Amino acid sequence: MKKIDSIEELQKMAAQVRRDIVRMVYRVQSGHPGGSLGCADFLTTLYFKVLNHDPANFTMDGKDQDLFFLSNGHISPVWYSVLARSGYFPVEELNTFRFLNSRLQGHPATEEGLPGVRVASGSLGQGMSVAIGAAYAKKLNQDPNLVYTLHGDGELNEGQIWEAALFAPHHKIDNLISVIDRNSQQIDGPTEKVLAMGDIGAKFAAFGWQVISMDGHDLQNIIDTLARAKSMTGQGKPIAIIMHTEMGKGVDYMEGTHEWHGKPPTEPLFERAMAQLPETLGDF
């Protein structure tokens, strides 16, 4: 796949992805815009600049390619937009998000055969384990490509995450880069109020991971941090990136609050969002 190298072009793509997110959620009056907007810069950069992948010829095994697993499956709008715009399926299909007979299920699934998705997610906390299995298989298959995951900070409440976090360093899963979306919000409120996660980086470090942090809205910082993370692979330890983001980034009334975690905008608010999100590359 042809990569996007300039920051300016990446910004245009991220802007269009944000617009896609809000339009998808508004259209079906259902879905999770907040976390999706917060991860738009990261996923755009990952898919258009960093990943070694072949969107036009998706294979389940992803042999000789990098793999990505979205563990916090509820931010499917951002993933679907990025998948479609990088060529996994037609952009027009974004119109079907969450409607009956769609391949774009509310939470990502393989059942309908949507290219780009390798495992179902949505019930939280399972993606890191699956990614570890896929990374383990890559090692056994002598495939030097990497496995990336994305997790919500609220998702880290789940015990299975910490089972996986314990396993990966013990078994030297050093071809895994796990990104934690530290937006400090979850459905019921601020993470530190619902169930304090405290210093997430220190927790992963204590489990034996290499930990770095990243500004999830600074494209150059995302590029540099992912390059740095890549340079840290193959050293016997997995890598965790604590990615600082703002939930709802790009739509003023959605920013920095859990209110828009899983709620679609009404018509006036939709229009207000559209006025803030320029159509840069053509709507679906």
Partner 1 sequence: MKKYISTGKKDTRSGFGVGLLELGKKNENVMALCADLTGSLKMNAFEDTFPERFIQTGISEANMIGIAAGLTIGGKIPFTGTFANFSTARVMDQIRQSVAYSGKNVKIAASHAGLTLGEDGATHQSLEDIGMIRMLPHMTVVVPCDYNQTRLATIAVGEMVGPVYLRFGRPSWDIFTPAEDPTFQLGKAQVMTEGTDVTIIACGHMVWLSLQAAEQLEAEGISAEVINMHTIKPLDEAAIVASARKTGCVVTAEEHNRYGGLGDAVAQVLGRQLPTPQEYVAVNDTFGESGTPMELMKKYGLDTPDIVAAAKRVVGRK
Q: Tell which one of 17, 134, 146, 223 touches partner 1 (CB under 8 A).
A: 134
**What are residue 186's DSSP bridge partners?**
189
Q: Which of 22, 70, 135, 229 binds partner 1 (CB under 8 A)?
A: 135
Distance in Å, CB of 249 to partner 1, minimum: 28
Task: State how far the Cα of 169 lies from the Cα of 155, in Å rounded to an integer.
Answer: 20
Within 149-208, the residues that bind partner 1 by CB under 8 A are 159-160, 163-164, 166-167, 170-171
In this complex, which beta carbon is closest to partner 1, that of residue 4 or of residue 146? 146
Q: How many Cβ atoms sit within 10 Å of the Cβ of residue 150?
A: 29
| Residue 131 in the binding site for partner 1 (CB under 8 A) | yes
Distance of CA 102 to the CA centre of its chain: 21
Query: What interhelical angle do 7-28 and 219-231 show, nearest 10?
Result: 100
Cβ-proximal residues to 37 (8 Å cutoff; 6+ apart), any chain = 18, 21, 22, 78, 247, 248, 249, 250, 251, 254
Can you tell me the distance from the alpha carbon of 208 to that of 135, in angstroms, rounded to the nearest whole number?
Answer: 17
Helix (H, G, I), strand (E, B) or coil at 95: helix
Taking phi first (over 0 means left), then psi (-120 to 50 degrees means alpha), and beta for anything else, what does residue 118 get? Answer: alpha
Tally the C-alpha atoms within 13 A of residue 67's C-alpha that lie toward its C-beta: 27
Q: Minimum Å distance from CB 75 to partner 1?
A: 16
Taking CB under 8 A as the criterion, the residue among 18, 138, 151, 182 binding partner 1 is: 138
Candidates 39-47, 127-135, 248-256, 261-269: pick the segment binding partner 1 (CB under 8 A): 127-135
95 binds partner 1 (CB under 8 A): no
CB 176 within 8 A of CB 239: yes
Q: How far is the CB of 128 from partner 1 (least distance, A)?
A: 7
Question: Binding to partner 1 by residue 120, rule CB under 8 A?
Answer: yes
* Options 6, 29, 141, 235; binder of partner 1; rule CB under 8 A: 141
Residue from 21, 25, 132, 239 touching partner 1 (CB under 8 A): that is: 132
Q: Report the site for partner 1 in 34-73 (rule: CB under 8 A).
A: 60-63, 67
Query: Of 14 and 239, which CB lies nearer to partner 1 in the complex structure?
Result: 239
CB of 159 to partner 1, least distance (A): 7
Please select the residue that binds partner 1; options are 106, 115, 122, 262, rule is CB under 8 A.
122
Question: 32 vs 49, which CB is nearer to partner 1?
Answer: 32
Residue 234 · residue 176 · CB < 8 Å: no
Tokens of 174: 């050093």
**Nearest C-alpha neighbor of 239 from the set 182, 180, 176, 156:** 176
Q: Which is nearer to partner 1, 73 or 264 (CB)?
A: 73
The site for partner 1, by CB under 8 A, has a size of 39
Residues engaged in binding partner 1 (CB under 8 A):
60-63, 67, 109-111, 118-123, 125-138, 140-141, 143, 159-160, 163-164, 166-167, 170-171
